[in-house]
Structure 1
Amino acid sequence: MEIYKAQPRQPQRRLKKAPTPTLKYLLWGGAGGATIMLLAFLGYFFYLLGALPKVDRLADYRPPILSQVYGQDGTLVGEFYLERRTVVPVDKMPKRLIQAFVSAEDSNFYQHKGIDYVGIARAAVKNLISMRKKEGASTITQQVAKSMLLTPEKKFSRKLKEAILAKRMEERLTKDEILYIYLNQIYLGAGAYGVQLAAETYFGKEVDKLNLAEMAMLAGLPKAPNSYSPIKHLERAKERQGYVLERMVKEGYITQAEADYAKATPIVIQPLKKVNAEQSAYFLEQVRQQLVEKYGEERLYKDGLKIYTTMNAEMQRGAYDSVVNGLKAVDKRQGFRGAAKYLAEAEVEPFCKKVEDDIDELSLKQGAVYQGVVTGVDPAKHELTVRVGDRTGTLPKKNMEWAGKVELVNSYGKPQTKRAIGLGAVLELQVKEPDKNRTGAVFALDQVPEAQAALIAIDPMTGGVRAMVGGYDYKKSQFNRAMQAKRNPGSAFKPIIYAAALEHGMTTASIIDDTQVEYESGGDKAWKPKNYDNVYRGPVTMREALTNSINVVSVKILEQIGVGTAIDYAKKLGITSPLASNLTLALGSSSVTPMELTSAYSVFASGGYRTTPYFVTKVLDRDGNVLEEVPEPKVPVFGQMSSAQAQGDAPAQGEDEEGKVPPAVPQPGQPVITEATGGVIPVIPPETAFIMTNLMQSVVSSGTGGRARALGRPVAGKTGTTNDMKDAWFVGYVPQLVAGVWVGYDQERSLGAGGSGGQAAAPIWTEFMQRALAGLPVKSFPTPGNVTFALIDPRNGRLAKDGTPGAVQECFVSGTEPTSYSSEPAADTVSAQ
């Protein structure tokens, strides 16, 4: 029997299944796509390497820095900038300030080469745990790259560029050079770029004078400058300060004891007093236009120019305050116009939040005006509770009495009448007592004037503009009324007519008949000039006519000398606007700017010299190089003009042989420099200038300009009021300063009660001059040697003997005084009928 042995079972071999055509293509396609993407990324990467900005230019870091404007005495009066920054070298920055910023922003700054890979990993872990972006990992070098070389867009491409540039920067710049850029470039809130401006803005100190507590507080700002602002959110700022100090301890820069001491150090927020650009806005804008035209905006706003001007800072502040106070007085005489608007209860909080964002002060400034909202009414006390931003206070009855009888309504919604104030009313509020810890302020009801004003003050001896205000609020209207508004001057033009008459045969004692007269006007009706007060005085002297601003007499004087003569004379004084070629010119019917009229008066104040008003004296670039310098023109004292010029026998500088001034009269901006006078032009004899000054002193002492007597020193000036009180003027001067004030509405209408030159303009002028002249010596107007005084009988203009009733001392150019007495024939009396 055959036995068969069982064979072991062989494992079954599985045949490898060939891939399907579709899968094969997908695999090949994926590999190809990945390759293409890799090649595209590498291509883009190398493209970026070639297209990125060069970091070499950072070695010569010249960031935009502010240009500063200085007044006559070197006081900082204004700034021009895109970014408010002052650059300081690293060696001026305290070592611990640098350590504070490094600890807070980039603790591995001195170890990494532009990118902090450890920091990236740490941030990634923290963000993953918290499931949100809690921490960033940008190094200081990357922040500089983004700030200086890139845009702030949040894209992967920007982050990649930032990383590449950071690596390149670390190869080409030292750590100190990177810190120098970073600490000067960084924005730290409140409009301050760089640590120097931040130190000044928050603590009123130079950066090298900061203590550790202040350094740590500044180092905490980059994360969120507004949220951690020590001005607005001191508690938050102190929390962030504590974080920075603990980071400094951890990094070994300070001890825990030093950190604790710094935390306990009181933080005193005392910002360096900022330039009040609002007060000088119109002056600065004139300077800005002049510099932009000459150097361009790029250079003005970024190149750190030092601009020296003719402005007197104290006079400018006085000019601004006087205009504001004067316009409010004019406006309040017209009555309360009601709340600016009414808010629903739900609108109050958003409105106050917006106001709060605009307030940088720890407490509201006394005297400042803010918009506030009525949030409470107490009818029994007739008192309001108001909010200004996040500050609260009261508006008591006594502080709104000027508004008259006002009804208080304890409900939201606009009341039926303007004479009522309810909840939600938005009011203009002036701070009488500042708040303490954001409560307890006391306010007074205020009102934004609708009328406007202009004031310009000029040094008559140089032409330097010492102060200029072109309106109530530059932010609301940039139209500079001092330079651009052409308005009728009214009687303020009369001194020009009278000065021309003095040089054409008349004297201060000339008799003119103040009686009604009519002139053919070419139409159906004759023109009958009227006196302002409708009183006609009969025969009067020239002095009495100007002192009382008698219209009819002024017209008769103009008729006698000729309109053409007066127009030529006005041009000689610097009037460039077209003038009416008819007798209405005597009453100021032709429009001129306040600058023109004030400059014309300065010829009288200077003793007969015309100076061209100017604003800029010197400009330096950021490196201290002089770009321009204007030598100060100076009017010589009496006696330095040639005798022939003084007598009017020889043409003055700038005149031809016929005594005519060439038509091209210099425009305000820069002084005209001449070899003969050093920058001024004699245009009228000093005797004429003195006699006109003497006449206008009478306007102040016993005429329409009486308010100016409050100065208590020799002063000359003239009021001006146009028909229906649409324009009010006062132009006047002392030996050291001439100033002109205009008041009116932009869209011409009556100023109403109290709208004359003496009531609306003269108070502004007087308040300004009281402040401007404080501390200056009292001076009399110098008398030229060719002037004679004589006792005159004003009833007939002839010489008077001692004891003659009403006799007055009169001044004359020697040889023109009367030679006969009252009882003798009047052959030498000049008169006009």
Structure 2
Amino acid sequence: MRFHCTLLSITTLTSSVLAGGLVGLAISFRDLPSVRKIRNFVPAETTYIYDIKGRLLASIHGKFNREVVPLNKVSPHLKRAVLATEDSYFYDHKGINPVGVARALVVNLEAGQVEEGGSTITMQLVKNLFLSQERTFTRKIAEAVLAIRLEQVLKKNEILDMYLNQVYWGDNNYGVQMAARYYFNKSAANLNLAESAMMAGLLPAPESFSPFINMELAKQKQKEVLFRMLELNWISQQDYNQALKQKIQLNKNRSLEGSASPYITNTVAQELAKKFGRDALLKGGMRVQTTVDAKFQLMAEKTVKRWHKRLTYQGLRNNQIALVAIDPRTHFIKALVGGIDAKTSEFNRATQARRQPGSSFKPFVYYTAFASGKFTPNTIVQDTPVKYRDGNRWYYPRNYDNSFMGAIPIRTALSLSRNIPAVKLGKAVGLNKVIKTSRTLGITSPMQPVTSLPLGAIGVTPVEMASAYATLANYGWQSPSTLIMRVTDSNGNVLIDNTPKPRLVLNPWASASVINVMQSVINNGTGKSAAIGRPAAGKTGTTSSERDVWFVGTVPQLATAIWVGRDDNRRLGYGATGGGTVAPIWRDFMRNALKNVPVENFKRPSKFPRPRPQQK
């Protein structure tokens, strides 16, 4: 009886003075944040990465896993359920509910501490946005003051909108949209009454009342919410009964963390963080469309794992494989595999490992020669012994088999991967010009004009090699190679648009000539094991120490670079070569990749004007 009398007295007093009293008290809280800033408030949102067909690859976020949705995209059932349990007089008060505050004052005075908050939705919102989570009388007064101020700045629906997108629903899920997906695998707009009541019941203690942890307790809280809605005449008795009987279908695959293709999503995330900052990546709610097809990427990953096992069985222990496939027409990366298993090693060998390309670098030398106008695929070069001064020593280039073939055409020299003609040709056209060609093709690694440069005495990444071959396959037309097609913010504003804008960076005749000669590599040269039953051009690469073996090749629609080696940079295995070890992997991947792609011929060099010899 004493409690009810006290409550009646406090309620009467509160009703008469709170409106004016708290406004006056606000003068004492001049150091409180300005709620007007809330109009510029942008909540942290999760960034989503999709494949080229819109399939979700990964979600990236910091502390707040959130996707903001407007109030009209939230189920009416959920809105009513939340209001019923959290603030049933929301549309009647001015930020605080005198009856609720009076009830909380009585409980707290008798307890000697803050036991009950009496908070409205507006008060909860300002607490989450502006104040600490401590439970003190001073904090509660500040909360009430800010709530009154906020109601003067925002409309009721704007406050409810912000609250529903701000509130915590358990297991690192913030906002109704993320919670609806997490618990029921639905959007917030499609929640039914039973689901809405269960979600609203989570709010006081989301982890404790989670249906994944204790369905019986979650059903009990659901019943309490439904009964409150019935009391308020917001639902009928029939609605109440049907909702209690309705079977709840929980989300069986509720984890939104991780990625099915970590090499793709990690690379994209690094690029976005570099461009926009890590804070924007974790909180900016970006929508990222990549250039890869998830099924195509999965096929590439399975190819790498399958061949890793085969090579291990063949005695090439501790081997790693990297694969990059690029469409020459757009320079869109269609597949990128940085190793045999991203879960055991996040190091991306496709983009981060600079390894010697060996003879797969030679096409850049021959292109430079053709572009000079002084050489053609039929020009005779000498495969004969030669020596060059290298500091205080002499450098004697040699062929892989230590033999010499004498006078041979350039086509034969490249198709059989003869080293001495490549070195002689590089010296003849100028090693600085070879470096310039490499830079144009996108090779960014440090390069010096040393005599062994034509044999690939530099470090390159597989993505650089695939991109370079893609430019040659497109007859000198180039766009920046990219994994990202388009990026927007959560409101649809375009942040990145990588629609291809190709530029002609190489001589078309020289490019077509190199491609033409590299077809001989596969037809009757060191790359016979890469034959795929359609026109293709490529080049093997094997370093003298057998630490790095490559095959890089292309058809008009797809250029693919594959590297095999060891992370510790030791010898892969005696007899490991680009032609014997890697070309079969390339063939296997390309056959799968091109199953439904029409056969297309390369353009012949005669279709383009031949460059005139350059004047000294």
Provide TM-score, normalisation by structure 1. Answer: 0.60
Q: CA RMSD in A?
A: 4.5
- Contact 2:397/2:419 (CA < 8 Å) preserved in 1? no
Asked whether 1:188 is paired with 2:169, we answer: yes
Change beyond 3 A, Cα 1:814–1:137: closer
Q: Matches of 1:279 and 1:595 in 2, distance apart?
A: 13
Higher percent of residues as helix: 2
Code of the aligned partner of 1:690: A
Code of the aligned partner of 1:750: R
Alignment partner, residue 518 of structure 2: 696
Cα distance, 1:53 vs. partner? 1.8
Alignment partner, residue 179 of structure 1: 160
- Contact 2:263/2:346 (CA < 8 Å) preserved in 1? no
Write the deviation string for residues 428-447 of structure 1: whole angstroms up to 9, x where unpaired.
Answer: xxxxxxxxxxxxxxxxxxxx
- Contact 2:365/2:434 (CA < 8 Å) preserved in 1? yes
- Contact 1:334/1:753 (CA < 8 Å) preserved in 2? no
Alignment partner, residue 126 of structure 2: 145
Alignment partner, residue 738 of structure 1: 559
Change beyond 3 A, Cα 1:93–1:494: same
User: Identity of counterpart residues, as a percentage?
Assistant: 40
Alignment partner, residue 265 of structure 2: 281
Code of the aligned partner of 1:55: V
Alignment partner, residue 34 of structure 2: 54
Q: Matches of 1:767 and 1:690 in 2, distance apart?
A: 25
- Contact 1:486/1:593 (CA < 8 Å) preserved in 2? yes
Asked whether 1:725 is paired with 2:551, we answer: no
- Contact 1:71/1:309 (CA < 8 Å) preserved in 2? yes
Q: Matches of 1:114 and 1:757 in 2, distance apart?
A: 73
Code of the aligned partner of 2:396: W
- Contact 1:462/1:680 (CA < 8 Å) preserved in 2? no
Q: Matches of 2:560 and 2:313 in 1, distance apart?
A: 25
Q: Matches of 2:507 and 2:124 in 1, distance apart?
A: 66
Higher relative contact order (CA 8 A, sep 6+): 2
Q: Matches of 1:765 and 1:134 in 2, distance apart?
A: 68
Give the alignment partner of residue 604 of structure 2, picking from 758, 766, 783.
783
Code of the aligned partner of 1:195: V
Change beyond 3 A, Cα 1:694–1:451: same
Q: Matches of 1:157 and 1:759 in 2, distance apart?
A: 77
Cα distance, 1:211 vs. partner? 1.8
Alignment partner, residue 715 of structure 1: 536
Write the deviation string for residues 483-516 of structure 1: whole angstroms up to 9, x where unpaired.
Answer: 4433211111122223334456554455656566
Write the deviation string for residues 448-482 of structure 1: whole angstroms up to 9, x where unpaired.
Answer: xx665544333323334444445566688776544
Determine helix, strand or coil for the equivalent of 1:51.
Answer: coil
Cα distance, 1:64 vs. partner? 2.9
Change beyond 3 A, Cα 1:107–1:259: same
Code of the aligned partner of 2:225: V
- Contact 2:442/2:467 (CA < 8 Å) preserved in 1? yes
- Contact 1:78/1:280 (CA < 8 Å) preserved in 2? no
Alignment partner, residue 491 of structure 1: 359
Alignment partner, residue 189 of structure 2: 208
Q: Matches of 1:168 and 1:611 in 2, distance apart?
A: 54
Task: Please give the residue correspondences for 1:496-645 in structure 2 after superposition, counting only pairs within 5 Å.
Answer: 496-502=364-370, 505-509=374-378, 521=390, 523=392, 527=396, 529-531=398-400, 533=401, 541-558=409-426, 561=429, 563-564=431-432, 566-614=434-482, 620-626=488-494, 629=497, 632-633=500-501
- Contact 1:516/1:530 (CA < 8 Å) preserved in 2? no
Write the deviation string for residues 218-244 of structure 1: whole angstroms up to 9, x where unpaired.
Answer: 223323334444456656544543443
Q: Matches of 1:154 and 1:760 in 2, distance apart?
A: 67
Determine helix, strand or coil for the equivalent of 1:725.
Answer: coil
Write the deviation string for residues 92-151 of structure 1: whole angstroms up to 9, x where unpaired.
Answer: 322221122233334554566544565577779999999999976443332212111212
- Contact 1:700/1:716 (CA < 8 Å) preserved in 2? yes
Q: Matches of 1:479 and 1:182 in 2, distance apart?
A: 41
- Contact 1:205/1:272 (CA < 8 Å) preserved in 2? no
Instruction: Select between 591-600 and 301-310 the one with higher mean Cα deviation.
Output: 301-310
Asked whether 1:64 is paired with 2:48, we answer: no
Change beyond 3 A, Cα 1:123–1:263: farther
Q: Matches of 1:463 and 1:189 in 2, distance apart?
A: 42
Change beyond 3 A, Cα 1:184–1:526: closer
Q: Matches of 2:512 and 2:390 in 1, distance apart?
A: 36
Alignment partner, residue 15 of structure 1: none
Q: Matches of 2:255 and 2:591 in 1, distance apart?
A: 25
Q: Matches of 2:278 and 2:269 in 1, distance apart?
A: 13
Q: Matches of 2:343 and 2:134 in 1, distance apart?
A: 32
Code of the aligned partner of 1:456: V
Q: Matches of 1:573 and 1:288 in 2, distance apart?
A: 23
Alignment partner, residue 70 of structure 2: 89
Q: Matches of 1:236 and 1:549 in 2, distance apart?
A: 73
Change beyond 3 A, Cα 1:741–1:158: farther
- Contact 2:75/2:192 (CA < 8 Å) preserved in 1? no
Change beyond 3 A, Cα 1:198–1:514: same
Change beyond 3 A, Cα 1:600–1:629: closer
Write the deviation string for residues 315-364 of structure 1: whole angstroms up to 9, x where unpaired.
Answer: 4454555555555665676699xxxxxxxxxxxxxxxxxxxxxxxxxxxx
Change beyond 3 A, Cα 1:128–1:261: farther
Give the alignment partner of residue 163 of structure 1, picking from 135, 144, 159.
144
Q: Matches of 2:360 and 2:415 in 1, distance apart?
A: 12
Q: Matches of 1:680 and 1:518 in 2, distance apart?
A: 40
Change beyond 3 A, Cα 1:320–1:247: farther
Change beyond 3 A, Cα 1:621–1:571: closer
Alignment partner, residue 253 of structure 1: 234
Alignment partner, residue 352 of structure 1: none
Write the deviation string for residues 379-419 of structure 1: whole angstroms up to 9, x where unpaired.
Answer: xxxxxxxxxxxxxxxxxxxxxxxxxxxxxxxxxxxxxxxxx
Determine helix, strand or coil for the equivalent of 2:452.
Answer: helix
Instruction: Select between 505-514 and 479-488 the one with higher mean Cα deviation.
Output: 505-514
- Contact 2:77/2:191 (CA < 8 Å) preserved in 1? no
Cα distance, 1:601 vs. partner? 1.5
Q: Matches of 1:465 and 1:325 in 2, distance apart?
A: 22
Change beyond 3 A, Cα 1:203–1:560: same
Give the alignment partner of residue 681 of structure 1, picking from 486, 504, 519.
504
Alignment partner, residue 459 of structure 1: 327
Q: Matches of 1:606 and 1:332 in 2, distance apart?
A: 38
Change beyond 3 A, Cα 1:282–1:738: farther
Q: Matches of 1:327 and 1:282 in 2, distance apart?
A: 22
Cα distance, 1:280 vs. partner? 2.0
Instruction: Select between 228-237 and 493-502 the one with higher mean Cα deviation.
Output: 228-237
Determine helix, strand or coil for the equivalent of 1:583.
Answer: coil
Cα distance, 1:76 vs. partner? 5.4
Task: Please give the residue correspondences for 1:342-491 in structure 2 after superposition, counting only pairs within 5 Å.
Answer: 453-470=321-338, 481-491=349-359
- Contact 2:117/2:140 (CA < 8 Å) preserved in 1? no
- Contact 1:283/1:467 (CA < 8 Å) preserved in 2? no
- Contact 2:292/2:483 (CA < 8 Å) preserved in 1? yes
Cα distance, 1:720 vs. partner? 1.5
Code of the aligned partner of 2:543: T
Q: Greater CA radius of gyration, 1 or 2?
A: 1
Instruction: Select between 744-753 and 179-188 the one with higher mean Cα deviation.
Output: 744-753
- Contact 1:283/1:468 (CA < 8 Å) preserved in 2? no
Change beyond 3 A, Cα 1:171–1:770: same
Determine helix, strand or coil for the equivalent of 1:581.
Answer: coil
- Contact 1:282/1:468 (CA < 8 Å) preserved in 2? no
Q: Matches of 1:540 and 1:189 in 2, distance apart?
A: 73
Cα distance, 1:51 vs. partner? 1.6
Q: Matches of 1:189 and 1:335 in 2, distance apart?
A: 48
- Contact 2:173/2:179 (CA < 8 Å) preserved in 1? yes
